[in-house]
Structure 1
Amino acid sequence: MLEKVIEENRQGEAYAPFAADPNTYSKKFYIESYGCQMNFSDSEIVASILHEEGFGATGNYTEADLVLINTCSIREKAEQTVRNRLKTFRQIKEDRPGMLIGVLGCMAERLKAKFLEEEKLVDIVV
């Protein structure tokens, strides 16, 4: 049974549902959520889908095969926070080229071209 390990009032926390035996998964994912309660709910849905596809959650992004940030772009500070996190993840990816980095939510929709093509911060925009 999966347990929820996030309080929705803590922006930027990783959603990490841990299964009884984390060694049963061949790939690991890490999700951070920023913004409204809907984003946290959406992250739970994404985590559930990834779990069904054989991914296990991790609370440590440095060991993840897939790193996702789910965010909205209501405030400029949130946008800068997300950009800084994406740069951090990109640095980890230099040592782990197989890692995929993705961004979800309305910020992703608005800045898709910049994230993918200009700044090359992410591999996936949803």
Structure 2
Amino acid sequence: MATAVSDWGLPTWKFIFNAGSQLHGADGPFLFGPESAVNNNTLALIVKDWYLGFVINLNPNSISNSGTPKPQWPQYHEGFTAMSINYTMIGAVRDADASSRCDFFHGQSYVVRN
């Protein structure tokens, strides 16, 4: 879906979050929960800064409310990069979903963006 949205020239960022329960919504405690609900407080501060930046300015890199250093999150269309977050690393990686296997979404980008 990120490929389909970015093909229309819309600012797009994608992240792969593997530092929680590995279930959908695993980033929730890092955003909304108390510090005791997460296993890495620094990671929680970084994720909150990214979300605030995106919500306020449509750019996850625009705000550093916590003052915590964080990697620059490139837009998705710049080489199909996604921000990978796990227990030991945070960094931009090539998105494995940007392949011919996902051409359906690319071909249906008008429908997907609606």
Name the TM-score, length of structure 2 as normaliser. 0.26
More helix by share: 1
More strand by share: 1
- The structure that has the greater radius of gyration is 2
